[in-house]
Copies of this chain bind each other. A is one copy, B any other.
Amino acid sequence: MIPTRAPTTEGVALAARKVAEILPAPPLLPLEVEGRTIWCKAECLQPVGAFKIRGAWHRLTALTQAERTAGVVGVSSGNHAQGVAWAARRLGVKAAIVMPVDAPEVKLANTRALGAEVVLYDRPGGEDRDEVAERLCKEREATLVHAYADPWIIEGQGSTGTEIAAQMAVLAGGPPELIVAPCGGGGLTAGLALACPNARIVPVEPEGWDDVCRSLAAGRIERVLPDAPATACDALQTPATRPINFAILQERCPFGVAVSAAEVRAAQRLAFAKLRLVVEPGGAAGLAAVLAGKITLSERSAVVLSGGNTDARAFVRVLSTAD
Protein backbone atom coordinates (compact mmCIF):
# COMPACT_ATOMS: atom_id res chain seq x y z
CA MET A 1 0.00 0.00 0.00
CA ILE A 2 2.89 2.41 0.65
CA PRO A 3 4.03 4.35 -2.43
CA THR A 4 7.60 3.58 -3.33
CA ARG A 5 8.87 6.59 -5.25
CA ALA A 6 11.68 8.45 -3.53
CA PRO A 7 10.93 11.87 -2.04
CA THR A 8 12.70 14.73 -3.82
CA THR A 9 13.91 18.26 -3.29
CA GLU A 10 11.43 19.40 -5.93
CA GLY A 11 8.68 17.64 -4.00
CA VAL A 12 9.65 19.58 -0.87
CA ALA A 13 9.50 22.84 -2.81
CA LEU A 14 6.04 21.95 -4.12
CA ALA A 15 4.88 20.96 -0.63
CA ALA A 16 6.20 24.25 0.74
CA ARG A 17 4.17 26.20 -1.83
CA LYS A 18 1.02 24.22 -1.06
CA VAL A 19 1.49 24.62 2.68
CA ALA A 20 2.16 28.36 2.36
CA GLU A 21 -1.20 28.80 0.65
CA ILE A 22 -3.14 27.69 3.72
CA LEU A 23 -0.84 27.81 6.76
CA PRO A 24 1.07 30.91 7.91
CA ALA A 25 4.68 30.00 8.75
CA PRO A 26 5.03 29.51 12.52
CA PRO A 27 7.55 31.95 13.95
CA LEU A 28 11.26 31.25 14.32
CA LEU A 29 11.94 32.51 17.83
CA PRO A 30 15.39 33.44 19.15
CA LEU A 31 16.50 31.77 22.37
CA GLU A 32 19.72 32.84 24.08
CA VAL A 33 21.63 29.82 25.33
CA GLU A 34 24.98 30.58 26.95
CA GLY A 35 25.62 33.60 24.80
CA ARG A 36 24.51 32.01 21.53
CA THR A 37 21.22 32.41 19.71
CA ILE A 38 19.32 29.21 18.96
CA TRP A 39 16.51 29.74 16.46
CA CYS A 40 13.46 27.79 17.57
CA LYS A 41 10.86 26.82 14.96
CA ALA A 42 7.57 26.88 16.86
CA GLU A 43 5.68 24.07 15.12
CA CYS A 44 3.60 23.65 18.27
CA LEU A 45 1.71 26.71 17.01
CA GLN A 46 0.32 24.92 13.95
CA PRO A 47 -3.49 24.54 13.98
CA VAL A 48 -3.22 20.91 15.16
CA GLY A 49 -0.30 21.69 17.45
CA ALA A 50 2.37 19.93 15.40
CA PHE A 51 4.28 19.94 12.10
CA LYS A 52 2.40 16.79 11.04
CA ILE A 53 -0.25 18.95 9.38
CA ARG A 54 2.27 19.68 6.61
CA GLY A 55 2.83 16.14 5.38
CA ALA A 56 -0.83 15.26 5.74
CA TRP A 57 -1.85 18.23 3.60
CA HIS A 58 0.73 17.45 0.91
CA ARG A 59 -0.31 13.77 0.85
CA LEU A 60 -4.08 14.19 0.86
CA THR A 61 -4.06 16.93 -1.78
CA ALA A 62 -2.12 14.51 -4.02
CA LEU A 63 -4.82 11.81 -3.88
CA THR A 64 -6.86 11.05 -7.00
CA GLN A 65 -10.59 11.70 -6.91
CA ALA A 66 -11.23 7.96 -6.61
CA GLU A 67 -8.81 7.73 -3.68
CA ARG A 68 -10.44 10.70 -1.98
CA THR A 69 -13.83 9.05 -2.29
CA ALA A 70 -12.56 5.79 -0.77
CA GLY A 71 -10.98 7.59 2.17
CA VAL A 72 -7.72 7.29 4.09
CA VAL A 73 -6.35 5.36 7.04
CA GLY A 74 -3.65 6.83 9.26
CA VAL A 75 -1.54 5.34 12.03
CA SER A 76 -0.38 7.62 14.80
CA SER A 77 0.13 8.21 18.50
CA GLY A 78 -1.67 11.46 17.97
CA ASN A 79 -0.01 14.27 16.06
CA HIS A 80 -0.04 12.65 12.62
CA ALA A 81 -3.61 11.60 13.52
CA GLN A 82 -4.64 15.20 13.96
CA GLY A 83 -2.79 16.29 10.84
CA VAL A 84 -4.56 13.69 8.70
CA ALA A 85 -7.92 14.42 10.34
CA TRP A 86 -7.47 18.17 9.75
CA ALA A 87 -6.54 17.75 6.08
CA ALA A 88 -9.30 15.17 5.53
CA ARG A 89 -11.97 17.42 7.02
CA ARG A 90 -10.82 20.33 4.90
CA LEU A 91 -10.91 18.21 1.74
CA GLY A 92 -14.11 16.29 2.58
CA VAL A 93 -12.26 12.96 2.77
CA LYS A 94 -13.26 10.21 5.22
CA ALA A 95 -10.43 9.41 7.64
CA ALA A 96 -9.90 6.55 10.09
CA ILE A 97 -6.93 6.76 12.44
CA VAL A 98 -5.36 3.81 14.22
CA MET A 99 -4.23 5.09 17.62
CA PRO A 100 -2.83 3.39 20.73
CA VAL A 101 -5.21 3.03 23.67
CA ASP A 102 -2.65 4.82 25.85
CA ALA A 103 -2.28 7.90 23.63
CA PRO A 104 -2.54 11.23 25.52
CA GLU A 105 -6.19 12.08 26.10
CA VAL A 106 -5.80 15.45 24.44
CA LYS A 107 -4.65 13.79 21.22
CA LEU A 108 -7.52 11.30 21.16
CA ALA A 109 -10.07 14.02 21.90
CA ASN A 110 -8.66 16.43 19.31
CA THR A 111 -8.56 13.76 16.59
CA ARG A 112 -12.21 12.88 17.22
CA ALA A 113 -13.14 16.57 17.38
CA LEU A 114 -11.71 16.96 13.87
CA GLY A 115 -14.24 14.42 12.64
CA ALA A 116 -12.00 11.38 12.20
CA GLU A 117 -12.93 7.85 13.23
CA VAL A 118 -10.48 6.64 15.89
CA VAL A 119 -9.67 2.90 15.84
CA LEU A 120 -7.82 1.95 19.01
CA TYR A 121 -5.13 -0.73 19.15
CA ASP A 122 -3.50 -2.25 22.19
CA ARG A 123 0.11 -1.02 22.06
CA PRO A 124 0.99 -2.13 25.58
CA GLY A 125 -0.58 -5.51 24.74
CA GLY A 126 1.72 -5.95 21.76
CA GLU A 127 -0.71 -5.42 18.87
CA ASP A 128 1.05 -4.27 15.69
CA ARG A 129 -0.37 -0.96 14.54
CA ASP A 130 0.72 -1.40 10.95
CA GLU A 131 -1.14 -4.73 10.72
CA VAL A 132 -4.29 -3.16 12.13
CA ALA A 133 -4.03 -0.33 9.59
CA GLU A 134 -3.36 -2.60 6.63
CA ARG A 135 -6.37 -4.73 7.52
CA LEU A 136 -8.55 -1.61 7.62
CA CYS A 137 -7.19 -0.40 4.28
CA LYS A 138 -8.02 -3.72 2.63
CA GLU A 139 -11.54 -3.80 4.08
CA ARG A 140 -12.30 -0.26 2.91
CA GLU A 141 -10.08 0.00 -0.17
CA ALA A 142 -8.73 3.08 1.58
CA THR A 143 -5.30 4.66 1.12
CA LEU A 144 -2.81 4.18 3.91
CA VAL A 145 -1.23 7.48 4.97
CA HIS A 146 1.84 6.31 6.81
CA ALA A 147 3.23 8.65 9.47
CA TYR A 148 6.75 8.69 8.01
CA ALA A 149 7.44 6.00 5.37
CA ASP A 150 5.79 7.93 2.56
CA PRO A 151 7.39 10.26 0.02
CA TRP A 152 4.64 12.90 0.26
CA ILE A 153 4.78 12.87 4.05
CA ILE A 154 8.56 13.31 3.99
CA GLU A 155 8.33 16.14 1.45
CA GLY A 156 5.53 17.81 3.38
CA GLN A 157 7.46 17.74 6.67
CA GLY A 158 10.44 19.08 4.73
CA SER A 159 8.53 22.32 4.18
CA THR A 160 9.48 23.09 7.79
CA GLY A 161 13.06 23.39 6.55
CA THR A 162 12.09 25.57 3.60
CA GLU A 163 10.49 28.01 6.02
CA ILE A 164 13.41 27.88 8.46
CA ALA A 165 15.80 28.75 5.62
CA ALA A 166 13.65 31.68 4.48
CA GLN A 167 13.20 32.99 8.02
CA MET A 168 16.86 32.66 8.96
CA ALA A 169 17.91 34.51 5.81
CA VAL A 170 16.00 37.51 7.19
CA LEU A 171 16.60 37.09 10.93
CA ALA A 172 20.05 35.53 11.11
CA GLY A 173 21.66 36.77 7.92
CA GLY A 174 21.96 33.41 6.20
CA PRO A 175 20.68 29.86 5.89
CA PRO A 176 20.86 27.37 8.77
CA GLU A 177 24.16 25.55 9.19
CA LEU A 178 22.66 23.15 11.73
CA ILE A 179 19.12 21.91 12.29
CA VAL A 180 18.33 19.80 15.34
CA ALA A 181 15.03 17.94 15.26
CA PRO A 182 13.11 15.41 17.31
CA CYS A 183 13.07 12.06 15.51
CA GLY A 184 10.47 9.29 15.61
CA GLY A 185 10.41 7.38 12.33
CA GLY A 186 12.49 9.93 10.48
CA GLY A 187 9.88 11.72 8.35
CA LEU A 188 10.73 15.21 9.57
CA THR A 189 14.46 14.59 9.66
CA ALA A 190 14.54 13.21 6.12
CA GLY A 191 12.39 16.12 4.92
CA LEU A 192 14.70 18.67 6.55
CA ALA A 193 17.68 17.01 4.90
CA LEU A 194 16.06 17.40 1.48
CA ALA A 195 14.96 20.97 2.19
CA CYS A 196 18.32 22.22 3.49
CA PRO A 197 21.05 20.41 1.55
CA ASN A 198 23.85 22.45 3.10
CA ALA A 199 22.86 22.12 6.74
CA ARG A 200 24.00 19.52 9.26
CA ILE A 201 20.90 17.62 10.39
CA VAL A 202 20.90 15.99 13.82
CA PRO A 203 18.01 13.68 14.81
CA VAL A 204 17.27 13.44 18.54
CA GLU A 205 15.49 10.54 20.23
CA PRO A 206 14.54 9.64 23.81
CA GLU A 207 16.85 7.24 25.63
CA GLY A 208 15.80 3.65 25.00
CA TRP A 209 13.98 4.67 21.82
CA ASP A 210 17.18 5.60 20.00
CA ASP A 211 16.79 3.14 17.14
CA VAL A 212 17.78 5.80 14.58
CA CYS A 213 20.93 6.66 16.57
CA ARG A 214 21.86 2.97 16.61
CA SER A 215 20.88 2.49 12.98
CA LEU A 216 23.15 5.36 11.90
CA ALA A 217 26.02 3.89 13.95
CA ALA A 218 25.43 0.36 12.60
CA GLY A 219 24.88 1.35 8.99
CA ARG A 220 21.62 -0.63 8.85
CA ILE A 221 18.11 -0.27 10.27
CA GLU A 222 17.96 -1.38 13.90
CA ARG A 223 14.73 -1.78 15.85
CA VAL A 224 13.86 -0.46 19.29
CA LEU A 225 14.70 -3.18 21.80
CA PRO A 226 11.79 -5.20 23.25
CA ASP A 227 12.60 -3.99 26.77
CA ALA A 228 12.55 -0.29 25.88
CA PRO A 229 11.65 1.78 28.94
CA ALA A 230 8.49 3.89 29.19
CA THR A 231 8.96 7.39 27.81
CA ALA A 232 6.97 10.61 28.05
CA CYS A 233 7.89 11.26 24.42
CA ASP A 234 4.87 9.45 22.97
CA ALA A 235 5.36 11.20 19.62
CA LEU A 236 8.78 9.54 19.23
CA GLN A 237 7.78 5.98 20.14
CA THR A 238 8.33 4.37 16.74
CA PRO A 239 9.74 0.85 16.63
CA ALA A 240 12.03 1.44 13.63
CA THR A 241 12.71 3.75 10.71
CA ARG A 242 12.11 2.52 7.15
CA PRO A 243 14.33 2.28 4.08
CA ILE A 244 12.72 5.33 2.40
CA ASN A 245 13.75 7.45 5.40
CA PHE A 246 16.99 5.70 6.24
CA ALA A 247 18.39 6.11 2.72
CA ILE A 248 18.35 9.89 3.28
CA LEU A 249 19.36 9.86 6.94
CA GLN A 250 22.33 7.60 6.26
CA GLU A 251 23.62 10.04 3.67
CA ARG A 252 23.06 13.22 5.64
CA CYS A 253 23.24 12.43 9.36
CA PRO A 254 26.58 11.15 10.65
CA PHE A 255 24.98 10.46 14.02
CA GLY A 256 21.92 10.89 16.21
CA VAL A 257 21.67 11.95 19.83
CA ALA A 258 19.64 10.47 22.70
CA VAL A 259 18.24 12.53 25.56
CA SER A 260 17.07 11.58 29.05
CA ALA A 261 13.64 12.22 30.51
CA ALA A 262 15.12 14.86 32.82
CA GLU A 263 16.79 16.64 29.89
CA VAL A 264 13.45 16.71 28.06
CA ARG A 265 11.68 18.18 31.09
CA ALA A 266 14.34 20.87 31.45
CA ALA A 267 13.78 21.85 27.82
CA GLN A 268 10.01 22.00 28.33
CA ARG A 269 10.52 24.26 31.34
CA LEU A 270 12.86 26.57 29.44
CA ALA A 271 10.41 26.84 26.52
CA PHE A 272 7.70 27.71 29.06
CA ALA A 273 9.76 30.39 30.80
CA LYS A 274 11.69 31.95 27.93
CA LEU A 275 9.51 31.36 24.87
CA ARG A 276 6.06 31.19 26.54
CA LEU A 277 5.39 28.05 24.52
CA VAL A 278 3.75 24.79 25.52
CA VAL A 279 5.95 22.06 24.06
CA GLU A 280 5.16 18.38 24.52
CA PRO A 281 7.95 16.00 25.63
CA GLY A 282 8.64 14.61 22.15
CA GLY A 283 8.54 18.13 20.72
CA ALA A 284 11.21 19.31 23.15
CA ALA A 285 13.73 16.52 22.51
CA GLY A 286 15.82 18.56 20.05
CA LEU A 287 16.05 21.52 22.39
CA ALA A 288 16.88 19.12 25.22
CA ALA A 289 19.93 17.86 23.33
CA VAL A 290 21.13 21.41 22.68
CA LEU A 291 20.67 22.50 26.32
CA ALA A 292 22.46 19.38 27.55
CA GLY A 293 25.46 20.38 25.45
CA LYS A 294 25.26 17.21 23.39
CA ILE A 295 25.51 18.95 20.01
CA THR A 296 28.26 21.28 18.79
CA LEU A 297 26.46 24.42 17.70
CA SER A 298 27.08 26.34 14.50
CA GLU A 299 27.05 30.06 13.86
CA ARG A 300 23.45 29.71 12.67
CA SER A 301 21.66 26.90 14.50
CA ALA A 302 17.97 26.00 14.44
CA VAL A 303 15.92 23.64 16.59
CA VAL A 304 12.47 22.35 15.69
CA LEU A 305 9.94 22.45 18.56
CA SER A 306 7.82 19.92 16.76
CA GLY A 307 4.63 19.69 18.83
CA GLY A 308 2.70 21.00 21.81
CA ASN A 309 -0.05 18.49 22.53
CA THR A 310 0.27 17.59 26.15
CA ASP A 311 -2.32 17.07 28.88
CA ALA A 312 -2.51 19.74 31.60
CA ARG A 313 -1.80 17.09 34.23
CA ALA A 314 1.39 15.97 32.50
CA PHE A 315 2.53 19.57 32.00
CA VAL A 316 1.91 20.35 35.67
CA ARG A 317 4.19 17.45 36.62
CA VAL A 318 6.92 18.80 34.32
CA LEU A 319 6.67 22.34 35.71
CA SER A 320 6.62 21.00 39.28
CA THR A 321 9.72 18.82 38.93
CA ALA A 322 12.96 20.38 40.07
CA ASP A 323 15.47 18.24 38.13
Contacts and interface: CB of A to CB of B under 8 A. Distances in A.
Interface string A270-295: 00110111110000000000000000
A284 to B, nearest CB: 12
A267 to B, nearest CB: 14
A27 B24 contact: yes
B45 A30 contact: no
A110 B106 CA distance: 32
Contact of A278 (B28, B47, B167, B272): B272
Contact of A319 (B27, B30, B170, B316): B316
Given A26-B27, A315-B319, A106 B276 contact: no
Interface range on chain A (Cβ under 8 Å from partner):
20 to 34
A49 interface: yes
Nearest to A312: B319
Interface in A145-166: none
Contacts of A27: 24, 26-27, 45
A217 interface: no
Nearest to A278: B276
A316 B320 contact: yes
Most chain B CB within 10 A, of A106, A308, A309, is at A308
B44 A276 contact: yes
A80 interface: no
A40 to B, nearest CB: 11
A273 B24 contact: no
Q: How many copies does the complex hold?
A: 2
A200 to B, nearest CB: 25
A276 B277 contact: yes
A269 B45 contact: no
A171 interface: yes
Nearest to A311: B273
Contact of A312 (B47, B272, B312): B272
A29 interface: yes
Interface in A181-211: none
Which 6 pairs of residues, A with B, have the shortest CB-CB distance? A276-B308, A276-B278, A312-B319, A44-B276, A316-B316, A316-B319
28 contacts: A24-B27, A24-B167, A24-B170, A24-B171, A26-B27, A27-B27, A27-B45, A30-B47, A42-B45, A44-B276, A45-B276, A45-B277, A49-B276, A269-B312, A272-B278, A272-B312, A272-B315, A273-B312, A276-B277, A276-B279, A276-B308, A277-B277, A277-B278, A312-B320, A313-B319, A315-B319, A316-B316, A316-B320
Given A42-B45, A277-B278, 13 more contacts: A24-B167, A29-B45, A45-B275, A49-B276, A269-B312, A272-B312, A276-B278, A276-B279, A276-B309, A277-B277, A313-B319, A315-B319, A316-B320
